[in-house]
Amino acid sequence: MPSQTETRAPIVSLRDVRQSFGAFEVLNGISLDIHKGEAICIVGPSGSGKSTLIRCINGLNPINSGSIKVDGIEVNDPKLDKRALRRRVGMVFQQYNLFPHKTVLQNVMMAPIRVLKEDRREVEARARDLIAKVKLQGKENAYPGELSGGQQQRVAIARSLAMRPEVMLFDEVTAALDPETVKGVLNTIRDLASEGMTCILVTHEMGFAREVADHIYFTDRGLIVEHGEPQDFFENPQDPRTREFLSQVL
């Protein structure tokens, strides 16, 4: 019997995606499917194409060839409606990119009001709920400079969720944080995944990947070298490159 995920269309689908910077091929024919509600972790050495891959999914980096579809939208269509794509795909970066002169509440409210032209009162109610969701209630009127790095990153997650995306992309969101602030950010992402948000994470947090991911992809030199469910991936890696990588990071 095929599983439920095999019988329905994936929400994100990549087919033979290639992307180069000059003569350097960053993505060398990547294909993968992600179904609604799945949490996917992409791991691998620096320079293996992980961050480029998720930036392509969000249309931030153009691809040279292949196909990326998100909820039926062809991302590399020259006539792409980027606003429609941004409504479906939220992204949180390593750097928080908050507006320093805006409060936490204003940062979270800005995009739905400016981009989606939504009603301010409705957006504010949603923003306050999201600030509570990322466990920052009481910080609504604080400015980013008054928050720790981990708190700022949780504001960035709330800001992305305010657009009500179907898919959330996380690009090494704990890489710039002090160790004591990492846990709160990972807990926030863990909660989102457990609630059924489709999450694609580039991460170097292997314990977190093992716990949260439905599926793990290992990339090296622009290729998916190996993928599998966490238990198989960590306990029985097949490719020598995967084994070498895990021996260095675990």
As a whole number of Å, the CA-based R_g of the chain is 18
CA distances from 97 to 60, 83, 249 (A): 15, 19, 29
Instruction: Give the list of residues 6+ apart from residue 57 with CB closer than 8 angstroms, or none.
Output: 12, 14, 68, 70, 75, 89, 167, 169, 200
pLDDT (tens digit, 9 = 90+) per residue, 135-193? 999 999 999 999 999 999 999 999 999 999 999 999 999 998 988 889 999 999 999 99
- Provide the CATH topology of domain 8-249: Rossmann fold (3.40.50)
> Angle at CA 225, nearest 5°, toward 216 and 207?
30
Handedness of CA 5, 7, 8, 11 (dihedral sign): positive
Instruction: Compute the C-alpha angle 214/131/172, nearest 5°.
Output: 40
Sheet holding 65-70, edge to edge: 24-34, 12-21, 65-70, 73-74
Q: Say yes or no to pLDDT of 8 above 90.
A: no
Tens-place pLDDT, residues 221-241 = 999 999 999 999 999 999 999
Structure tokens of 44? 């691998």
Q: What is the pLDDT of residues 13-28, one digit of tens each?
A: 999 999 998 888 999 9
The CA distances from residue 222 to 61, 86, 110, 215, 219, in Å, are 15, 25, 36, 18, 6
| Overall pTM > 0.85 | yes
Type of residue numbered 80: L
Percent of the chain with pLDDT over 90: 85
- Tens-digit pLDDT profile for residues 25-82: 999 999 999 999 999 999 999 989 999 999 999 999 999 999 999 999 999 999 999 8
